[in-house]
Structure 1
Amino acid sequence: MDRLNYQHLFYFWNVAREGSVTRASEKLRLAQPTISGQLAVFEDAIGAQLLRKEGRRLTLTEKGRTVYNYADEIFALGRELTNTLKGRAGASGGRLSVGIADALPKLLVYRLIEPALRSQERPQVICHEDKVERLLAELSLHGVDLVLADAPATVSAGGRVYNHLLGQCGVAVFGAPALAAKYAPDFPRSLEGAPLLFPTPATALRRSLDLWFENRRICPEMRAEIEDSALMKTFAAAGVGLFVAPVAVTGEIERRYDVVRIGDLEGVTESFYAITVRRKMDHPAITAILESAQDLLTLA
């Protein structure tokens, strides 16, 4: 394949978005045989099947997902160019697609991404929240530009990925005022039998917490295991139990959820990583995130 036929790519992109040749034909106002024929020519030029039939819907193959993600970027850049030529505000910022591990504290995630929003390029930021494994798969297919996670990617993730340690942060125990008043005295021994909301076992923080409690022979009451950090704080605000969160966002947590910082868990830290592929290393918005993270994340 010497040259990419962008017209064929455009037809494929629309079929993938619509999920069927019929709907894509209606949208583009072209005959179905025309679209089907051009798709066949495009797949032949690519040398791989890009779409497969699942019931009444067409879905992307692995190769199709890769081509679709590139096409999405290509046509987004085309729209940005059109807007720039027409002098529309905010047209020159590009896009930054961020994959966010679902266990990460959302307040801290915002603080990490905020420098990109304030950067001179003013990119359009697109956030995807999911399991780390699925986000890393999207990263390898160029579906996202970087992944924010609480642990580095390992060789099992496949492909060439690069881990950037953004920093480490101490953690503290928080709770609604009534629970805080009860468990603050004699902290951390007061956590024996205390109602606690835990992150799920798959997270690095959970493994650190289990080890910390085991080493100190403290056994709290596990009231719930909650994957989403924002949902955990909502439970805690209602007085269901205590929870653990990074000290770097103490002020925001206390104001937003009306909870109190009871005490710090000495020796427990939470790490934060930005995971990228080499192709995206020169993205100015990613650079802004990497350069600002150390100021936010401290071992306080």
Structure 2
Amino acid sequence: MDVLNLHHLRLFRAVARDSTLTGAARTLNLSQSALSSQIKTLEASLGHDLFERRGRGLALTEAGRIALDHAEAIFRTADDLTATLRNAGTGRKALRVGALATLSRNFQIGFLEPLIGRSDVEVVLRSGAQADLLRALEALSVDVVLTNLVPARDASSPYLVHSLSEQPVSLIGLPSAAGSAGRPLADLLADEPLILPTPESALRASFDALVEQMGIPAKIAAEADDMAMLRLLARAGAGIAVIPPIVVRDELSTGMLVELGRLEGIKEEFFAVTLHRRFPNPLVAELLQTFRNRGD
């Protein structure tokens, strides 16, 4: 049996990603003929064609798709090993965190609190769209992704989804609206202008289902896809915000905002997403365990 040539495998992955020999050869700074020859050598070694011609491009065969899955796993493991061992024995450890751009900052700080201020730890925070963060997770550019959206998964998905917390959702407004506290929920929802998450969020879907069930036409004053913006709109008096109290924890403690009512049956869930890794960052496990212990 031929020994698998990892150099050939890396070239194969480049062609598979580009779908053309010409583009991959340009990226790799190789001649197209040299690249084609090495792909043929890999195919001969594996005993299967990995590509088939489709129009002007190349498409993976079934064997090619299987080979690409294994190639990605091999190179993820290699990158993981390199990153882990390169930092072994160093005085400071790094934790790279990706967080959904719209996620509550208070929740993020609460999750990272055990590491904040530690002289042996550097925390690197990156925010963005979920798809971009998950790609960064698979590329080992981040160690964990914090989100309130469960990523799509199937039997081949590499993700581990850790449920961290369920937060209640309330109606939050200025102290001038304090006279509304204690009013029936249906009256509040029907009479007051509301600040809502945008329709694509899970929280908004739950809220829309609630008001439809109650037969209430909600008066929407503003919508935002960012928890920080919902908080600022509530502070500005744009209306009553439908928001987890943790997002406005500081404003509630100082009396800048008040909780007018709790939306029973609606929860905001928070998750940490990690990968199956041979060399996981131990700081991730430390944070997850600390967070679980808080709930005990």
- More divergent stretch after superposition (266-275 vs 217-226): 217-226
Q: Within 5 Å, give how 1:145-156 maps onto structure 2.
A: 145-155=143-153
Distance in 2 (CA, whole Å) between partners of 1:103 and 1:3 is 40
1:128 aligns with 126
Q: 1:77 to 1:218 in 2, by over 3 A?
A: farther
1:18 aligns with none
How much does 1:40 deviate? 6.0
1:105 aligns with 104
RMSD: 4.0
How much does 1:182 deviate? 4.5
Q: Within 5 Å, give how 1:179-218 maps onto structure 2.
A: 180-188=177-185, 189-218=187-216
Structure 2 residue runs without a partner (length 5+): 8-25, 40-70
1:144 aligns with 142
Q: Alpha-carbon deviations, 1:87-114, whole Å to 9, x = none?
A: xxxx623211111112221111110121
CA contact (8 A) 2:102 2:228 kept: no
Q: Alpha-carbon deviations, 1:203-242, whole Å to 9, x = none?
A: 2211111112222223321112211111221111010122
How much does 1:170 deviate? 1.4
1:53 aligns with none
1:15 aligns with none
2:258 corresponds to which of 250, 257, 260:
260
Q: Alpha-carbon deviations, 1:20-77, whole Å to 9, x = none?
A: xxxxxxxxxxxxxxxx9x9769xx8x98xxxxxxxxxxxxxxx99x989x87996898
1:273 aligns with 271
1:114 aligns with 113
CA contact (8 A) 2:79 2:140 kept: no
Given the alignment of the two structures, is residue 287 of structure 1 paired with residue 288 of structure 2, yes or no?
Answer: no
2:242 aligns with 244
CA contact (8 A) 1:174 1:263 kept: yes
Query: Match of 2:108, SS?
Result: helix
Distance in 2 (CA, whole Å) between partners of 1:75 and 1:280 is 12
Q: Which amino acid aligns with 1:183?
A: S
Q: Which amino acid aligns with 2:178?
A: A
Distance in 2 (CA, whole Å) between partners of 1:39 and 1:250 is 53
Query: Match of 2:92, SS?
Result: coil
Query: Match of 1:279, SS?
Result: coil
Distance in 2 (CA, whole Å) between partners of 1:159 and 1:228 is 28
If you compute each CA radius of gyration, which structure gives the higher value, 1 or 2?
Answer: 2
CA contact (8 A) 2:195 2:230 kept: yes
Q: Which amino acid aligns with 2:265?
A: G
Q: Alpha-carbon deviations, 1:129-182, whole Å to 9, x = none?
A: 11112211221121211111113222279741111111212122211112x324
**TM-score, with length taken from structure 2:** 0.66
CA contact (8 A) 1:136 1:147 kept: yes
**TM-score, with length taken from structure 1:** 0.65
CA contact (8 A) 2:81 2:279 kept: no
Distance in 2 (CA, whole Å) between partners of 1:244 and 1:77 is 46
Distance in 1 (CA, whole Å) between partners of 2:161 and 2:100 is 14
Distance in 2 (CA, whole Å) between partners of 1:281 and 1:210 is 43
